[in-house]
Structure 1
Amino acid sequence: MSSGTLPPFAVLRAFDRVGRLGGIRKAAHSLQISHAIVSRHMAALETFLGVTLYNRRTGELTEAGRRYHARISAAISDMEAATSAVKGAHARPLTIWCSAGFSLHWLAQRLPDFRTGARDRSGPLVDLHSTDTEPSFRHDEADGDIRYLFDDDAKTLPDDMRAEEIARPVVFPVAAPSFRIGRHGALRKREDILDLPMIQERSDAEWASWLSLQGLSPRVSQPVARYGQAHLALVAARSGQGVALANHYLVADDLASGRLVKLSPDDGPWEPVRLGAYYFRCSRPRWNEPLVARFRRWLHKAVAQDEQAWSVPDGSAT
């Protein structure tokens, strides 16, 4: 290795991949070179710096390696962003992971608007992964991630990640039109909802919080079953199994078509309850990359347009 101020870029590139992907063999596979070459690059870089960067027993970066990688990774991301800006943002796809319900009922329908809204009318390709599994930004699994976080869960964020609130929707109960409540098919009093079969997702926590904020006992009725995802709970609601909690991002089409209706008591509207928000999250080094920033701006615009279209009194029947 030369005795210049900086190590060769190939060496830094290999070190960056080892740090991002968590191992020499994974970095070698990503770079399409042999793991022996990556191992030599790591050894050469450690000699150049005079410190140990990689624990070969555990396969992890040392403390010095993590500190150095944070800055090297940010610098390489800046160079990638600058190159993409010159070549054109459409040169590579934008990989977005998103929770299943939001991607199915809202995002997937609107992605063509992101592409056709570009100046060149072709726009960047979005590679959408609909999943309730969160990506590893450290391993470059995604450029960005969108999912609903309850307020308590959103308070903690890893140091290498940034997050931005996209939408904070009102949560309300919905059911199939065929679902009958009592003899007259309506909630006479607010507390009557406590006697209905409540469709749950992973637990009764969301229902308990919503009921408490309505001033009711957080007593949740025995569910017919538990569904691990929001869109599965809505399938159960459409089939008449009971009442589910939802928001406009999940049920706007169902409300418009009449497949689902809001349930409102005769003695007054529900309180507008917001239990959490949809967030866009990204690794800090890539937050201001042109393609990521463009997608965030488009998200905010699309959300604002729909929020305006849905601006009806909270808790009203539809």
Structure 2
Amino acid sequence: MERRPHIPPLAALHAFMAYARTGGIRRAATALGVDHAVVSRHLRDLEATLGIALRDRGREGGLTPQGQAYHARIAPLLDGLARATADIRGQAPRITLTCSHGIAYHWLLPRLSTFRALHPDVEVMLRPVDSDCRFDPDRIDPTLHADIRYINDRQPAIDQPRVRSLPLARPLVFPVASPACLRRLAHPLRTPADLLHAPLLIEDDDTEWRLWFAAQSVEVERITGHNRLWQAHLALAAARAGEGIALANAYLLENDLHTGQLVRVTTTDMPLHAAGLGTYVLRTTEQTWQARAFVRLRTWLETQFGTEAGQVVTSDHHPARKKRLPTRS
């Protein structure tokens, strides 16, 4: 009979993975929902089985170089085991796709039925969230997780080990408002600088507006005295209610511009330029990146972002005057 190397108990491997992920025995115990003595015992048993020290017992804690090497080898294997178990049970591959509320409600949700029709064997759960997603590359979970996030040009790059990213689109950004709001303006908009005296709708901070004004050759250090909202989704809701002028892109405005509920703001003496101020980025772990179900979703997203948004029809002050708006710079 062929003799195979001894495989450590899964409980010990789970404890080791949790320790590697959290960096501490008590934190690993909390993550697993067990007593810290259980995690400590599993780690001691695993080290005895392997005949090597996995934990760095110095002040910094963490893994020894041998522990890091072992972790890098077994993490994808345990992940594959979890997915193979889900497959043999007949569970459909499930992808949780997180993204901001605006792109979820106004652009992605109406299109997901197309993906489901093409790939009925892949389950996608769309989950709008406000904050950037932090991935856990070591988590053993048959559920695939990916995130779409808009990153403006002044945001620091999101750098996580063993996380892959793909730029999907760099949309053109421009100001919009309701026709009623524009009629109520106290002063006419002749130049881009005149917008500084109009009721601007600002998201969590004024970065996007300052980037846009810089693209119009209007340098401004800080934009104050305007309505501040949490996110683009709320800013557009306020713009529909006639409360002010918001910055947005065609991915967020398809229906509003078709119906004329929001119109593109213009000036009389100088044109306003749509500007690429950031990028929609798809991110996930290296393991998910290679999964067959996610490859299908990733390919579909590239196609949708690259073609469909370019067909959005927009209008300026006069809803009857329509033209095609490019969505890539």
Q: Give the TM-score, by structure 2 length.
A: 0.79
1:19–1:251 Cα change, 3 Å = same
Q: Does 1:25 align with 2:26?
A: no
| More displaced 10-residue stretch of structure 1: 40-49 or 193-202 | 40-49
Alpha-carbon displacement from aligned partner over 1:190-235 (angstroms, at most 9, x marks no partner): 3322321211001222111110111123266534421111111111
Partner of 1:162: 164
1:167–1:58 Cα change, 3 Å = farther
| Alpha-carbon distance, 1:254 to partner | 1.0
Aligned partners of 2:267, 2:326: CA distance in 1, in Å? 13
How many residue pairs match? The answer is: 306
Which of 138, 144, 147 is residue 145 of structure 1 equivalent to? 147
Partner of 1:260: 262
Gaps of 5+ in 2: 314-323
Partner of 1:7: 7
Aligned-residue Cα RMSD (Å) equals: 3.3
| One-letter code aligned to 1:107 | L
Partner of 1:303: 305
Partner of 2:253: 251
Aligned partners of 1:87, 1:194: CA distance in 2, in Å? 60
CA contact (8 A) 2:100 2:148 kept: yes
Alpha-carbon displacement from aligned partner over 1:24-80 (angstroms, at most 9, x marks no partner): 434544xxx887665443222112333443479999632444443233212323444
Partner of 1:123: 121
Partner of 1:61: 62
CA contact (8 A) 1:99 1:146 kept: yes
User: 3-state SS of the aligned residue for 2:201?
Assistant: coil
Partner of 1:100: 101
1:185–1:194 Cα change, 3 Å = closer
The structure that is strand-richer by fraction is 2
Aligned partners of 1:166, 1:136: CA distance in 2, in Å? 19
Gaps of 5+ in 1: none
1:17–1:221 Cα change, 3 Å = closer
| Alpha-carbon distance, 1:165 to partner | 0.6
| Alpha-carbon distance, 1:164 to partner | 0.6
1:304–1:183 Cα change, 3 Å = closer
User: 3-state SS of the aligned residue for 1:163?
Assistant: strand
Aligned partners of 2:285, 2:185: CA distance in 1, in Å? 54
CA contact (8 A) 1:167 1:278 kept: yes
Q: Give the TM-score, by structure 1 length.
A: 0.81
| One-letter code aligned to 1:277 | T
Alpha-carbon displacement from aligned partner over 1:127-179 (angstroms, at most 9, x marks no partner): 22211123332174961111111134353412221111111100000001111
Q: Does 1:177 align with 2:171?
A: no
Aligned partners of 2:325, 2:150: CA distance in 1, in Å? 23
1:94–1:62 Cα change, 3 Å = same
Aligned partners of 1:304, 1:116: CA distance in 2, in Å? 20
Aligned partners of 2:191, 2:215: CA distance in 1, in Å? 16
CA contact (8 A) 2:8 2:46 kept: no
1:291–1:40 Cα change, 3 Å = farther
| One-letter code aligned to 1:25 | A
% identical aligned pairs: 34
Alpha-carbon displacement from aligned partner over 1:105-138 (angstroms, at most 9, x marks no partner): 22222222221111xxx33222222111233321
